[in-house]
Amino acid sequence: MRTGSHKLGLILIRNPPAPSAYECVARVQGEIHNPKLNRMQFSFELIKRAPVSSARVGKIVTPHGEVNTPVFMPVGTQATVKTLSPSDLAELGAEIILSNTYHLFLRPGHELIREFGGIQKFMSWNRPVLTDSGGFQVFSLAELRKITEEGVTFQSHIDGGAKHFISPEYAIEVQQALGADIIMAFDECIPYPSTRDYAQESLERTLRWAKRCRDAKKDSGQALFGIVQGGMHPELRKRSADALVEIGFDGYAVGGLSVGETKPVMYEMIEATVPHLPEDQPRYLMGVGTPEDLVEGVERGIDMFDCVMPTRNARNGTFFTSFGKVSIRNAQYERDRQPIDPSCGCHTCRNFTRAYLRHLFNAGEVLALRLGTIHNLFFYLNLMRGMRLSIEQGSFQEFKKGFLAKRENIDS
């Protein structure tokens, strides 16, 4: 148990409370590797705003450490960012990762992870973690869903179609067992396209679920974020944002985007949402996106992103570079002695040629997946570093212009 009350939306770093007896014992036993662990309450500090856009630099403080924003969160669905060890992630400079409640709930089970002291200890990653609520996966992976006011009944995609039921309260209980630093309200992510009527009906239910999540959450030291829904309807987005702020959360996510709509519509929905969110709290654009999306999102005031794109593409042999995409299986790279991106400083580009990586992919060698993942995540994390630096220096627009100009092919 962590001491100290957990207020909503406070932008203030409390004085750390004196360590509890448990903490003292744990420290003596060496269980707590991070000296800040269990001492910091969640907070967000807005450090700098760009002069001609909504771009901003900030800092999130969590029980497992600090996160500089805008931040990209690598996706570690099953308590591992696929192919990487925690030391790989640390070397890449990842400050926070996302893990999927739906998957961990099914396997190995949240109670097992609770026994191990939470996902950080379970996977040996002593830094911040965010878990989603499972809602997105229930609506995209599971079968035979039945939505009621109470929650969702579904058949899982892995355990022989066993039936499960998740309510807002249960989603919070599972996430409290998983122990991530930031947890998410349980929401419905509606299909695209959906009618306005369904978007509104679903939105209102998701708002009632959000309130139930807020009420169900114990003083676990975890931050709880609400999720703005509302389909592709600006007025529903506003309605959702206003109502969530009224309930009060530690941060706000923009959900239900990058589900098939065009880029202009996605950017419009971000613009229809962000102005209605508190400036002094973090804003998280869920499941987005391409490098260009990250730049456009930051420009519109987003602080946090997650997406499987860099990791999944890497495992398909598609690499992000400053000049567009490299599909490493192409015959043109057979005898190519250059690294994936000659301007990249990642471990892969410092050590391996395109020809060697192409050979590994063609030969079905597992090392290819890791080396590609290292490169793509480095590219994403480096892009975020570049954006943070340019905002701090007041040159975000120049950064954006230069970044887009160099990329010959748009990744989409």
Cβ of residue 366: shortest distance to its own copies, in angstroms? 5
Cβ of residue 44: shortest distance to its own copies, in angstroms? 31
- Look up 280 and say whether it is catalytic: no
Nearer to its own copies, 77 or 153 (CB): 77
- Crossing angle of helices 367-392 and 354-362, in 10° steps, is 130
On whether the CB atoms of residues 193 and 229 are closer than 8 A, the answer is: no
Determine, following the binding rule CB under 8 A, whether residue 355 of this chain makes contact with its own copies: yes
Tokens 């009350």 correspond to what residue? Answer: 5
- What residue type is 289 in one-letter code? G
Nearer to its own copies, 171 or 374 (CB): 374
| CA angle centred on 90, ends 11 and 37, rounded to 5° | 45
The residue annotated as part of the active site, out of 181, 250, 306, 341, is 306
CA dist 396 and 181 (Å) reads 29
Cβ of residue 80: shortest distance to its own copies, in angstroms? 5
> Which range of residues in 85-93, 215-223, 321-329, 400-408 is near its own copies by CB under 8 A?
85-93
Nearest C-alpha neighbor of 34 from the set 42, 22, 26: 26
- Look up 187 and say whether it is catalytic: no
Cβ of residue 346: shortest distance to its own copies, in angstroms? 12
On whether the CB atoms of residues 192 and 167 are closer than 8 A, the answer is: no
The full DSSP string for 285-345 is: ETT---HHHHHHHHHTT--EEE-SHHHHHHHTTEEEETTEEEETTSGGGTT--S-SSTT--
Q: Which of 56, 214, 370, 407 binds its own copies (CB under 8 A)?
A: 370
Determine, following the binding rule CB under 8 A, whether residue 347 of this chain makes contact with its own copies: yes
Q: Which of 215, 242, 334, 392 binds its own copies (CB under 8 A)?
A: 334
The residue annotated as part of the active site, out of 132, 181, 293, 341, is 132
Binding mask 45-84 vs its own copies (x if CB under 8 A, - otherwise)?
---------------------------------xxx-xxx
Total residues binding its own copies (CB under 8 A): 38
Tokens 């993942």 correspond to what residue? Answer: 373
Cβ of residue 378: shortest distance to its own copies, in angstroms? 14
Cβ of residue 370: shortest distance to its own copies, in angstroms? 7
Q: Is 345 exposed, middle or buried (0-12, 13-18, 19+ CB in 10 A)?
A: exposed
Determine, following the binding rule CB under 8 A, whether residue 87 of this chain makes contact with its own copies: yes
Helices (H), 68-130: 86-92, 101-106, 110-115, 119-123
Instruction: Give residues in contact with its own copies (CB under 8 A).
Output: 78-80, 82-87, 103, 107-108, 112, 115-116, 122-124, 334-335, 337, 347, 351-353, 355-356, 358-360, 362-363, 365-367, 369-371
Which residues are part of the catalytic machinery?
132, 306
